[in-house]
Amino acid sequence: MRVVIAKPGLDGHDRGAKVVARSLRDAGMDVIYSGLHRTPEEIADMAVDEQVDAIGLSILSGAHVALVEQLTQVLRERGAGHIVLFVGGTIPSQDVPLLRELGVDAVFTPGTPLGAIAGDLCASVEQSRAGRGSDRGS
C-alpha cells in the first residue's frame, strides 16, 4: 500500500506527521512525506503521480475543513476521488461529521494508538478497493 502523508497550509509543526509516517512504514506501507506548507493542488498531484492508495493530512492550524474541501475537489477534478483520505491533528469532535461528509474516511486525534491508525487505514483501503468507483467516483 502506498500512502502520502502531507502537511497542508501554513502549519509548521510536523513531528506528529513524521511519527505517523514512520509507524506506517514500520507496518509495511510505502510512505511518501510531502514536507511542510503544501497546497491541496500539490498534494493531489503528488498522490496521482505516485499512484497512492491513501492520503493522510496532518493539520494543527484549525483550517481542516477548508483544506479538506479544497483537496477533495481537486482530487475529483483529477479523477482521483477514490483515494482514501484520512486526517489527523487537533480536530474538534464536532467537526468530524462534516469532514466525513466531505469524503474523509477516518479522523485521528492526539492520543490515537499508532497501531489503530495503521489498522483502520488498511481496512479503509481494502474497502475502497472492493467498491472502487461505486461510492466516491474515480
Domain boundaries of the chain, sorted by first residue: 2-130
The tens digit of pLDDT for each residue in 20-38 reads 999 999 999 999 999 999 9
What type of residue is 75?
L
> What is the per-residue pLDDT for 135?
47
Q: What gap in Å lies between CA 32 and CA 1, rounded to an integer? A: 11
Residue whose C-alpha cell reads 481496512 in the numeric block: 123
The tens digit of pLDDT for each residue in 66-107 reads 999 999 999 999 999 999 999 999 999 999 999 999 999 999
Q: What gap in Å lies between CA 73 and CA 52, rounded to an integer? A: 17
Give whole-number Cα distances, 63 to 7, 57, 89, 123, 134, in Å: 12, 11, 11, 27, 29
Residue whose C-alpha cell reads 469524503 in the numeric block: 103
Helix axes 64-77, 40-50, angle to 10 degrees: 50
Query: What class does CATH assign to 2-130?
Result: alpha beta
